[in-house]
Amino acid sequence: MRVSTFLVITLILGVLQVVFPDYLKVFGIKPDFLLAAVVMAGLFFQMRRAVIFGVSIGIFKDIFSLNAFGLNILLFGLWAYLAAKISRKISIEDNITRTLLVFVIALFENIASGLSIVYSGSLIPFGIFLRIVILGSLYTALPFALIFKITKIIDHSVNYD
């Protein structure tokens, strides 16, 4: 995938996440399209470029989110590194495996974000914490297959000459 194509797709996903959050909510939870973009960076690019994209996307998310500044920068860089490392060790060729990878990474992302909120002094009931972790991870992973297919269509339709 070309860098310019990836940047355009990431920008579209970022705008979707920031501009349309209320329309995308299910049970008070919305998908994390930027996390899906980070996993795509880990799958498509070499390690260094994937981590740079992960950190950059983390900066973008930190600017527009209410979490502690720097948390997404650190975690997104880590997730991009892990996705790139895993994709080099294990063959990830089908959408089911990619979606499962996004689910696992989203699960760890939601656990880390929830624990940082608890650590900052806010109290989250355990049931709500589980709902955010499990449903949020599913809701991030399920649209990923569609996002990935659209990305592949766009990537194949662009003339690289």
pLDDT tens for each residue of 115-153: 888 887 888 888 888 888 898 899 888 888 888 877 777
Q: Which amino acid is at 127?
A: G
Q: Indicate whether this model's pTM tops 0.75.
A: yes
Contacts of residue 32, defined as CB under 8 A and 6 or more positions apart, other chains included, come to: 17, 106, 109, 136, 140
**Residue ranges per domain, the chain?**
3-157
> Which CATH code for domain 3-157?
1.10.1760
pLDDT tens for each residue of 62-83: 887 776 678 889 999 999 999 9
CB of 106 closer than 8 Å to CB of 32: yes
Tell me the pLDDT band of 161, cut-offs 50, 70 and 90: very low
